[in-house]
Protein backbone atom coordinates (compact mmCIF):
# COMPACT_ATOMS: atom_id res chain seq x y z
CA UNK A 1 0.00 0.00 0.00
CA UNK A 2 2.83 2.41 0.83
CA UNK A 3 4.23 2.32 -2.72
CA UNK A 4 0.79 3.10 -4.11
CA UNK A 5 0.47 6.04 -1.73
CA UNK A 6 3.89 7.40 -2.70
CA UNK A 7 2.94 7.20 -6.37
CA UNK A 8 -0.33 9.03 -5.79
CA UNK A 9 1.38 11.66 -3.66
CA UNK A 10 3.85 12.28 -6.45
CA UNK A 11 1.05 12.57 -8.98
CA UNK A 12 -0.70 14.99 -6.66
CA UNK A 13 2.28 17.30 -6.83
CA UNK A 14 3.59 16.27 -3.43
CA UNK A 15 7.36 16.32 -3.61
CA UNK A 16 8.09 13.22 -1.75
CA UNK A 17 7.32 10.88 -3.91
CA UNK A 18 -2.00 14.12 -10.26
CA UNK A 19 -4.18 14.47 -9.96
CA UNK A 20 -6.24 12.00 -8.07
CA UNK A 21 -9.91 12.14 -9.00
CA UNK A 22 -10.87 11.44 -5.44
CA UNK A 23 -8.53 13.17 -3.03
CA UNK A 24 -10.71 11.92 -0.18
CA UNK A 25 -9.83 8.32 -1.01
CA UNK A 26 -6.13 9.17 -1.08
CA UNK A 27 -6.33 10.81 2.34
CA UNK A 28 -8.26 7.82 3.72
CA UNK A 29 -5.57 5.49 2.37
CA UNK A 30 -2.90 7.56 4.10
CA UNK A 31 -4.83 7.45 7.37
CA UNK A 32 -5.04 3.66 7.19
CA UNK A 33 -1.24 3.34 7.09
CA UNK A 34 -0.81 5.45 10.25
CA UNK A 35 2.68 6.09 8.90
CA UNK A 36 3.85 9.53 10.08
CA UNK A 37 5.81 10.04 6.88
CA UNK A 38 2.59 10.02 4.86
CA UNK A 39 0.35 11.57 7.52
CA UNK A 40 2.45 14.74 7.31
CA UNK A 41 1.29 15.13 3.72
CA UNK A 42 -2.36 15.66 4.66
CA UNK A 43 -2.26 19.39 5.59
CA UNK A 44 -0.69 20.22 2.24
CA UNK A 45 -3.21 18.08 0.35
CA UNK A 46 -6.03 19.90 2.16
CA UNK A 47 -4.43 23.24 1.27
CA UNK A 48 -3.93 22.38 -2.39
CA UNK A 49 -7.12 20.47 -3.23
CA UNK A 50 -9.70 21.65 -0.66
CA UNK A 51 -11.34 18.19 -0.31
CA UNK A 52 -14.65 17.71 1.49
CA UNK A 53 -13.34 17.18 5.01
CA UNK A 54 -16.71 16.30 6.50
CA UNK A 55 -17.20 13.48 4.00
CA UNK A 56 -13.71 12.13 4.68
CA UNK A 57 -14.34 12.25 8.43
CA UNK A 58 -17.67 10.49 7.98
CA UNK A 59 -16.18 7.68 5.88
CA UNK A 60 -12.84 7.08 7.61
CA UNK A 61 -12.50 4.56 10.42
CA UNK A 62 -9.57 6.58 11.81
CA UNK A 63 -11.67 9.47 13.07
CA UNK A 64 -9.52 10.41 16.06
CA UNK A 65 -6.35 10.44 13.97
CA UNK A 66 -7.94 12.50 11.20
CA UNK A 67 -9.43 14.95 13.71
CA UNK A 68 -6.02 15.40 15.32
CA UNK A 69 -4.43 16.16 11.94
CA UNK A 70 -7.24 18.59 11.13
CA UNK A 71 -6.56 20.38 14.40
CA UNK A 72 -2.88 20.68 13.46
CA UNK A 73 -3.82 21.79 9.95
CA UNK A 74 -6.07 24.52 11.31
CA UNK A 75 -3.24 25.93 13.42
CA UNK A 76 -0.82 25.76 10.48
CA UNK A 77 -3.25 27.61 8.21
CA UNK A 78 -3.90 30.27 10.83
CA UNK A 79 -0.19 30.92 11.38
CA UNK A 80 0.39 31.01 7.62
CA UNK A 81 -2.56 33.38 7.01
CA UNK A 82 -4.24 30.80 4.80
CA UNK A 83 -8.01 30.99 4.75
CA UNK A 84 -9.25 27.42 4.83
CA UNK A 85 -12.18 26.48 7.02
CA UNK A 86 -11.70 23.43 9.24
CA UNK A 87 -15.04 22.30 10.77
CA UNK A 88 -14.89 22.86 14.52
CA UNK A 89 -17.46 20.16 15.22
CA UNK A 90 -14.95 17.57 13.95
CA UNK A 91 -11.92 18.63 15.95
CA UNK A 92 -13.41 19.79 19.24
CA UNK A 93 -13.80 16.37 20.86
CA UNK A 94 -11.06 14.24 19.35
CA UNK A 95 -8.96 11.97 21.54
CA UNK A 96 -5.65 10.60 20.35
CA UNK A 97 -3.48 8.18 22.30
CA UNK A 98 -0.28 8.86 20.35
CA UNK A 99 0.36 12.60 20.34
CA UNK A 100 1.37 14.04 16.98
CA UNK A 101 4.23 16.51 16.78
CA UNK A 102 2.98 19.86 15.52
CA UNK A 103 6.43 21.12 14.52
CA UNK A 104 7.05 18.11 12.29
CA UNK A 105 3.79 18.72 10.43
CA UNK A 106 4.47 22.45 10.12
CA UNK A 107 8.02 21.94 8.83
CA UNK A 108 6.75 19.49 6.22
CA UNK A 109 3.95 21.85 5.15
CA UNK A 110 6.38 24.75 4.75
CA UNK A 111 8.70 22.65 2.60
CA UNK A 112 5.81 21.61 0.34
CA UNK A 113 4.54 25.18 0.21
CA UNK A 114 7.90 26.31 -1.12
CA UNK A 115 7.81 23.46 -3.63
CA UNK A 116 4.43 24.74 -4.79
CA UNK A 117 6.06 27.96 -5.92
CA UNK A 118 7.92 25.89 -8.52
CA UNK A 119 11.41 27.35 -8.28
CA UNK A 120 12.86 27.93 -11.70
CA UNK A 121 16.50 28.08 -10.71
CA UNK A 122 18.41 24.84 -10.20
CA UNK A 123 19.94 26.20 -7.01
CA UNK A 124 16.46 26.76 -5.54
CA UNK A 125 15.47 23.17 -6.29
CA UNK A 126 18.70 21.90 -4.80
CA UNK A 127 18.05 23.86 -1.61
CA UNK A 128 14.59 22.32 -1.28
CA UNK A 129 15.89 18.79 -1.75
CA UNK A 130 18.79 19.48 0.62
CA UNK A 131 16.39 20.68 3.32
CA UNK A 132 14.25 17.56 2.94
CA UNK A 133 17.32 15.33 3.20
CA UNK A 134 18.53 17.26 6.23
CA UNK A 135 15.23 16.69 8.04
CA UNK A 136 15.33 13.00 7.18
CA UNK A 137 18.92 12.58 8.45
CA UNK A 138 18.23 14.54 11.63
CA UNK A 139 15.21 12.32 12.35
CA UNK A 140 17.42 9.24 12.16
CA UNK A 141 19.77 10.55 14.87
CA UNK A 142 17.85 12.96 17.06
CA UNK A 143 14.59 12.96 18.99
CA UNK A 144 11.79 15.38 18.16
CA UNK A 145 12.76 17.52 21.14
CA UNK A 146 16.39 17.61 20.04
CA UNK A 147 15.38 18.65 16.52
CA UNK A 148 13.35 21.53 17.93
CA UNK A 149 16.29 22.71 20.04
CA UNK A 150 18.69 22.44 17.09
CA UNK A 151 16.28 24.39 14.89
CA UNK A 152 16.05 27.21 17.44
CA UNK A 153 19.83 27.29 17.77
CA UNK A 154 20.27 27.51 14.00
CA UNK A 155 17.83 30.41 13.94
CA UNK A 156 19.73 31.96 16.87
CA UNK A 157 16.62 31.94 19.02
CA UNK A 158 16.82 31.54 22.82
CA UNK A 159 15.91 28.26 24.50
CA UNK A 160 14.63 27.54 28.00
CA UNK A 161 16.84 26.45 30.88
CA UNK A 162 15.31 22.98 30.72
CA UNK A 163 16.10 22.71 27.00
CA UNK A 164 19.63 24.00 27.62
CA UNK A 165 20.24 21.29 30.21
CA UNK A 166 18.74 18.68 27.87
CA UNK A 167 20.99 19.90 25.03
CA UNK A 168 24.12 19.82 27.22
CA UNK A 169 23.30 16.39 28.63
CA UNK A 170 22.34 14.60 25.41
CA UNK A 171 22.33 16.49 22.13
CA UNK A 172 25.77 18.07 22.43
CA UNK A 173 27.32 14.67 23.12
CA UNK A 174 25.68 13.27 19.98
CA UNK A 175 26.97 16.17 17.91
CA UNK A 176 30.48 15.66 19.31
CA UNK A 177 30.30 11.96 18.41
CA UNK A 178 29.21 12.81 14.86
CA UNK A 179 32.17 15.17 14.47
CA UNK A 180 34.69 12.64 15.78
CA UNK A 181 33.29 9.65 13.89
CA UNK A 182 33.30 11.18 10.40
CA UNK A 183 36.43 9.39 9.12
CA UNK A 184 35.44 6.15 10.82
CA UNK A 185 31.94 6.30 9.29
CA UNK A 186 33.37 6.90 5.81
CA UNK A 187 35.60 3.85 6.20
CA UNK A 188 32.78 1.59 7.39
CA UNK A 189 30.35 2.88 4.77
CA UNK A 190 32.60 1.69 1.93
CA UNK A 191 32.62 -1.86 3.27
CA UNK A 192 30.02 -4.53 2.49
CA UNK A 193 28.99 -6.80 5.40
CA UNK A 194 29.81 -10.48 4.95
CA UNK A 195 26.76 -12.71 5.21
CA UNK A 196 27.19 -16.31 6.37
CA UNK A 197 23.95 -17.88 7.59
CA UNK A 198 25.48 -21.34 8.01
CA UNK A 199 28.05 -20.06 10.48
CA UNK A 200 25.36 -18.53 12.67
CA UNK A 201 23.22 -21.63 12.25
CA UNK A 202 26.12 -23.55 13.80
CA UNK A 203 26.28 -21.03 16.65
CA UNK A 204 22.58 -21.55 17.40
CA UNK A 205 22.91 -25.33 17.23
CA UNK A 206 25.87 -25.31 19.60
CA UNK A 207 24.10 -23.02 22.08
CA UNK A 208 21.05 -25.31 22.12
CA UNK A 209 23.28 -28.37 22.42
CA UNK A 210 25.09 -26.87 25.44
CA UNK A 211 21.77 -26.63 27.28
CA UNK A 212 21.87 -30.43 27.52
CA UNK A 213 24.92 -29.96 29.75
CA UNK A 214 23.20 -27.20 31.75
CA UNK A 215 25.37 -24.51 30.20
CA UNK A 216 23.47 -21.47 28.96
CA UNK A 217 24.63 -18.28 27.36
CA UNK A 218 25.88 -16.83 24.10
CA UNK A 219 28.90 -18.38 22.41
CA UNK A 220 31.69 -15.85 21.93
CA UNK A 221 34.17 -18.19 20.25
CA UNK A 222 34.93 -21.84 19.57
CA UNK A 223 37.73 -23.90 18.08
CA UNK A 224 38.50 -27.54 17.44
CA UNK A 225 41.48 -29.04 19.23
CA UNK A 226 42.23 -32.67 18.47
CA UNK A 227 39.09 -34.63 19.26
CA UNK A 228 37.57 -31.82 21.31
CA UNK A 229 35.64 -28.62 20.73
CA UNK A 230 36.52 -25.75 23.06
CA UNK A 231 33.69 -23.25 23.57
CA UNK A 232 33.96 -19.84 25.20
CA UNK A 233 30.54 -18.54 26.23
CA UNK A 234 29.06 -15.66 28.22
CA UNK A 235 26.00 -15.97 30.45
CA UNK A 236 23.33 -13.28 30.83
CA UNK A 237 24.87 -12.36 34.17
CA UNK A 238 28.06 -11.41 32.35
CA UNK A 239 30.08 -14.35 33.62
CA UNK A 240 32.22 -16.18 31.07
CA UNK A 241 33.13 -19.83 30.94
CA UNK A 242 35.36 -22.04 28.84
CA UNK A 243 34.26 -25.63 28.31
CA UNK A 244 35.73 -28.53 26.38
CA UNK A 245 33.61 -31.33 24.92
CA UNK A 246 34.49 -34.51 23.12
CA UNK A 247 33.40 -34.36 19.50
CA UNK A 248 32.06 -37.89 19.94
CA UNK A 249 29.27 -36.42 22.11
CA UNK A 250 27.91 -34.52 19.13
CA UNK A 251 25.37 -36.82 17.47
CA UNK A 252 23.64 -34.19 15.33
CA UNK A 253 24.57 -34.77 11.68
CA UNK A 254 24.04 -31.10 10.76
CA UNK A 255 26.34 -29.93 13.54
CA UNK A 256 29.02 -32.39 12.47
CA UNK A 257 28.67 -31.24 8.86
CA UNK A 258 29.07 -27.57 9.83
CA UNK A 259 31.99 -28.27 12.17
CA UNK A 260 33.78 -29.95 9.26
CA UNK A 261 33.42 -26.61 7.44
CA UNK A 262 34.11 -24.24 10.35
CA UNK A 263 37.04 -25.29 12.55
CA UNK A 264 37.04 -22.10 14.61
CA UNK A 265 35.47 -18.71 14.86
CA UNK A 266 35.45 -15.64 17.08
CA UNK A 267 32.00 -13.99 17.26
CA UNK A 268 33.12 -10.89 19.18
Q: How does pLDDT run across 146-174, given as a tens digit for each residue?
A: 999 998 998 889 999 999 999 999 999 99
- Residue 18 — pLDDT band, cuts 50, 70, 90? very low
Q: Give the number of other Cβ atoms within 10 Å of residue 9's Cβ.
A: 21
How far is it, in rounded angstroms, from Cα 114 to Cα 216?
59
Where exactly are the structural domains of the chain? 2-112, 143-179, 197-266
Per-residue pLDDT tens for 194-229? 889 999 999 999 999 999 989 888 999 999 999 999
pLDDT of residue 115 exceeding 60, the answer is yes
Q: Let me know: does 103 contact 111? Beta carbons within 8 Å.
A: no
Give every CB contact of residue 72 below 8 A, 6+ residues apart in sequence.
Answer: 43, 100, 102, 105, 106
This model's pTM is above 0.75:
no
How distant, in Å, are the alpha carbons of 14, 67, 101 from that of 92? 29, 8, 18
Give the residue among 206, 141, 223, 227 at the shortest CA–CA distance from 177.
141
Amino acid sequence: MERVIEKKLTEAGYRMFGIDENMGELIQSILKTKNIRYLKAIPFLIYKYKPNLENIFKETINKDLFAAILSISKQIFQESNIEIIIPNDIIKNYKLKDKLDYNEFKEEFEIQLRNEKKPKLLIDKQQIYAERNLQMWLSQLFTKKEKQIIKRMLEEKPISRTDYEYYSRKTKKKLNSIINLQDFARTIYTKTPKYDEELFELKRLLENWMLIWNISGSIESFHLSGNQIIINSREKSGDTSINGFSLKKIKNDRMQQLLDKYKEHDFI
